[in-house]
Structure 1
Amino acid sequence: MISPLVLGSHNVNGIRAAMRRGFRPFWDSEGADVIALQEVRCRLADLPTEAFTGYHTALETGTLPGRNGVAVMTRLAPTSIRTLSGGALLAGPDGAFSEVEAIHLPNRDLAHFSHEGRYIEVDLSDAPVRVASLYLPKGAAWPHEEDGKDKYDRKMRFLKGLSRLLTSSRREAAAEGRQFVVVGDFNIAHTELDLKNWRTNKRSEGFLPEERQWFSSVVGPRRLLDVVRHVHPGVDGPYTWWSWRGQAFTNDAGWRIDYHLASPALARSATTARVAREADYDSRISDHSPVVVHYDMAALAS
């Protein structure tokens, strides 16, 4: 069993653009065992093979051209893959993808999103862990935003289904002797600590009371723990997303919307948890910075 397990999450905002900005040099320097991606935003025919070499990559692109797409890159081939659609793409260390069958995750609310490439799970073969990569819809600030009701309702429906999915996946993993962790872009800042300008964003999507209440409902000492917050209690941030516009990045006026939510034992095994914020604006790989956690699997097994 690998220990520590170095697990990273990164909303790349387009894998081809991220490659031009230094995606692989960064992750090669991290030595990550698992890298979960969101917003891959690339069709099968256009995927840059060099982004994935050296890893086995399970990818759910969805069918919306140029949008969404989630993946999990692992050092060894996963023992199983689960998606909302029942299908996935899988690449070996050469980075060449082919279509494969995946275990279908039935969910009456999330079935509506099964073609969008927003959720994938894999079981690791070198550690007793199930890893999920999530890209949650952004939503809208309805009723404060007049024409946003459809987007608001879509996000609320997704959240409803996701609550059930996270519970069932966590329990199923535990029954199989596995820990569970869901990582990625939740598009929600949970508390005032997770948003620099929270006072002026009380009516903004991603910080609505009902979104934050939902987040509180899925975390807890017997459900899932927010790993970065567990390691860094009571601090502002560390933020993970900053607008490309203006001076948001320079002034660290960000949002913490990218998380690791792990089953309690796994979360408590984390020895380090950090946001790998780039040194300056010109060094940014994406509008999201990676989140990297080291899990002490040996301590977990003892």
Structure 2
Amino acid sequence: MASSSPVRIASVNVNGVRAAFRKGMGDWLDASNIDILAMQEVRAATSDLENLLGPEWDILHDPATAKGRAGVAIASRAQAHIHRVEFGAEDFDSAGRWLEADYEVGGSIITVVSTYVHSGEDNTPKQVEKYKFLDAMSARLPELAAHSTYAVVLGDLNVGHRELDIKNWKGNRKNAGFLPQERAYFDRFFGPRGEEIECVDGTTGVGLGWVDIGRTWAGEVEGPYTWWSQRGRAFDTDTGWRLDYHVTTPELAATVKDYRIDRAATHAERWSDHAPVVVDYAI
């Protein structure tokens, strides 16, 4: 990764990496000139990743406790300096959902996190686990900012922050992924650092000062979306959700040169129900 050109970082929920490669993910990767790739819902062994990606990639992988579930990974052209998977309270099982790695880019250290937030289900234990994860994320983000000026949290965060992030937001106000309490976490993530803010659920909180690159780049427009249900004609009608994020420190946000969502041309050409989110950072 040369300092004279941007570092290209991508994130995608692969929805099972073996199935994604059978459907064409390898062709996308070969053509995309990615330097660092964060993956979620890997649902495979480390040996599978190594066989699929090949020896030119350095692979970090944190599988889930339950085999065949979740799993996050980071593949990079250059080897990571160090990586970490510790996250949240000791009794909280975050395996397969949070993986941090430090890379040297252009003489600077950039911290990259691949994360997969629980999908949740309102009024169930699944939602309790989701809130535990978001609480742990709220505690970790300030620590990451203190650790590295350049830090990015990538992944399927399973929350549409604003009405612009979901096509059918009115019909999802009581569903996990768009609950006011979930969205309030994101109000705090992206609120001005150190300032008290009013959140969408009526609570107040202190902003953490991180930047949502997707919304910053796209502006005040619907979407653009990153996930579409496999059911019906959701992809064809662009009835989607923006669930996949690049969440960065302000310093790293200032280096962004390009942002794109690699949406497949047709439903038949999709290799995941999520589209990759690709950002060029000039560090």
Answering whether residue 167 of structure 2 is matched by residue 192 of structure 1, we say: no
Counterpart contact for 1:10–1:184, Cα < 8 Å: yes
How many residues matched?
Answer: 264
Give the corresponding residue for 1:152.
127
CA distance in 1, matches of 2:231, 2:174: 20
Counterpart contact for 1:182–1:262, Cα < 8 Å: yes
Question: Paired residue for 1:283, among 269, 274, 278?
Answer: 269
CA distance in 2, matches of 1:268, 1:47: 32
CA distance in 1, matches of 2:66, 2:274: 21
Q: What SS class does the counterpart of residue 148 from structure 2 fall into? A: helix
Give the corresponding residue for 1:274.
260
Give the corresponding residue for 2:112.
131
Answering whether residue 234 of structure 2 is matched by residue 248 of structure 1, we say: yes
Counterpart contact for 2:46–2:61, Cα < 8 Å: no
Cα distance, 1:15–1:208 mapped onto 2, change above 3 Å: same
Give the corresponding residue for 1:101.
none
Q: What SS class does the counterpart of residue 113 from structure 1 fall into? A: coil
Matches within 5 A, 1:154-173: 154-173=129-148
Counterpart contact for 1:181–1:260, Cα < 8 Å: yes
279-288 or 55-64, which deviates more: 55-64
CA deviations on 1:114-171 (whole Å, 9 max, x unpaired) are 3x310001111334210000000011122xxxxxx21111111111111101221221
CA deviations on 1:250-302 (whole Å, 9 max, x unpaired) are 000000000000001211221111111000000001000000011121xxxxx
CA deviations on 1:164-203 (whole Å, 9 max, x unpaired) are 01221221123xxxx0100000000000000000011101
Counterpart contact for 1:231–1:270, Cα < 8 Å: no
Give the corresponding residue for 2:35.
33
Gaps of 5+ in 2: 194-208
Give 1:55 deviation, angstroms.
1.1
Matches within 5 A, 1:59-138: 59-84=61-86, 105=87, 107-108=88-89, 111-114=91-94, 116-127=95-106, 128-138=109-119
Counterpart contact for 1:61–1:70, Cα < 8 Å: yes
CA distance in 2, matches of 1:263, 1:276: 23
Give the corresponding residue for 1:89.
none
Give 1:221 deviation, angstroms.
4.3
Gaps of 5+ in 1: 85-104, 143-148, 298-302
Q: What SS class does the counterpart of residue 122 from structure 1 fall into? A: strand
Give 1:46 deviation, angstroms.
4.6
The two structures have a TM-score, normalised by structure 1, of: 0.84
CA distance in 1, matches of 2:98, 2:187: 20
Give the corresponding residue for 1:211.
182
Give the corresponding residue for 1:93.
none
Cα distance, 1:131–1:48 mapped onto 2, change above 3 Å: closer
Counterpart contact for 1:221–1:264, Cα < 8 Å: no
Answering whether residue 210 of structure 2 is matched by residue 224 of structure 1, we say: yes
The two structures have a TM-score, normalised by structure 2, of: 0.89
Q: Which amino acid aligns with 1:79?
A: H
Q: Which amino acid aligns with 2:104?
A: S
CA distance in 1, matches of 2:54, 2:43: 15
